[in-house]
Amino acid sequence: MNSITVLDIRVDDVTMAEALAQVDDFMQESRVHHIVTVNPEFIIASQNDEAFARVLAESDLNLPDGANLLRAAQAQGTPLRERVAGTDFVWYLAGLAAEMGWKIFLLGGRGGVGGQTASRLQARYRNLKIAGMFEGSPDERDEGEILARINESGAQILLVAYGAPAQDLWIHRQREQLKTVRVAVGVGGAFDFIARKIRRAPDWMQRLGLEWLFRLVLQPWRVRRQWALVVFTLHILRQGKVQHIKKLEIA
């Protein structure tokens, strides 16, 4: 598997089909494999969070999630072939799980969103086995109950919707405690999108990298989080200038 780095964070150059094939391989091994949906917000958060940076370095698969991430990769001369959006990945993963008979546990999702997500996934994939759902929280005080529920369910796939970095820090911390899980994915706001609590941006906005703007209009409170995209762009531009200067010096 080929990988690149964007601001020192590994991003794996996989297509959706290759990511799903990797999941199939992961399922054959008797340990938890951590999949992260890396986007510009993740990368900026990791710049000032050593624990999160370590999680991204030690994860088993870092999906290239975000049109602006692909643009940054192109700008630095290390293009990625395809965007693998987290919400889309959940849909495809559920389809593969239904086909293979793998059981899924949904962790997180406020106000019944987990149940709504399960209903929509099962409406599309009739054979999908939902082993359990629980809202819980990433708070350490909830860990005992959460682990008991997941382990008793016998789930092989765990989807955690606590938002980053909390969801991925949680998965990283609990890897040794999950008995039957083989693949754990931090899915961010995917449950909200799948349950139709929040609308996704139209395809044309996604292609143009304007999904952030669509979400900002629907959720103005995200303005501070969206600032990360501005910071990310500035970092990429600064990196490009530094590389250009170095090339001139060598020449």
Q: What are the tens digits of pLDDT across the range 144-191?
A: 999 999 999 999 999 999 999 999 999 999 999 999 999 999 999 999
- What is the structure's pLDDT at 246? 37
Query: Tokens in use for 205?
Result: 């906005």
Please compute the mean of the pLDDT values over residues 73-79 and round it to a whole number.
93
More confident of the two residues 3 and 245: 3
Q: What is the pLDDT of residue 237?
A: 74
Tell me, what's the pLDDT at 251? Answer: 36
| Residues ≥6 apart with Cβ < 8 Å to 180 | 150, 151, 153, 154, 155, 156
Q: What Å distances lie between residue 146 and 108, 167, 170, 227, CA to CA?
A: 10, 13, 11, 33
How confident is the prediction for the chain on average, in pLDDT?
Answer: 88
Give dist(CA 238, CA 72) in Å, integer: 12
Across the chain, how many H-helices and E-strands are there?
12, 8
- Tell me the whole-structure pTM to 2 decimals: 0.85
* Mean local confidence (pLDDT), 202-206: 69
**What does the alpha-carbon distance between residue 160 and residue 162 come to, in Å, rounded to a whole number?**
6
Confidence check: pLDDT of 235 > 80? no
Is the pLDDT reported for residue 91 higher than 50? yes
Domain count across the chain:
1
Mean per-residue pLDDT, 223-247: 60
Residue 185 in contact with residue 158, Cβ under 8 Å? yes
User: What range defines the domain where residue 16 resides?
Assistant: 3-247
Grade residue 117 by pLDDT with cuts at 50, 70 and 90.
very high
Of residues 234 and 133, the one with the higher pLDDT is 133
Provide the strand spans (E) within 84-197: 103-108, 129-134, 157-161, 183-186
In the chain, beta strands by DSSP E = 3-6, 9-12, 33-38, 61-64, 103-108, 129-134, 157-161, 183-186
Task: Tell me how far the alpha carbon of residue 177 is from its chain's centroid.
Answer: 21
Reported as type and span, the H/E element at residue 232 is helix 223-250
Task: Return the higher-pLDDT residue of 52 and 235.
Answer: 52
Q: How far is CA 185 from CA 51, 108, 169, in A?
A: 18, 12, 11
Q: What is the H or E stretch that residue 19 is in?
A: helix 16-26
Model confidence at 219, in pLDDT bands (50, 70, 90)? low
Q: Among 181-195, 219-233, 234-248, whose mean pLDDT is lowest?
A: 234-248
Q: What is the mean pLDDT of residues 18-32?
A: 98
d(CA 72, CA 33): 27
Would you place residue 202 in the very low, low, confident or very high pLDDT band (cuts 50, 70, 90)?
A: confident
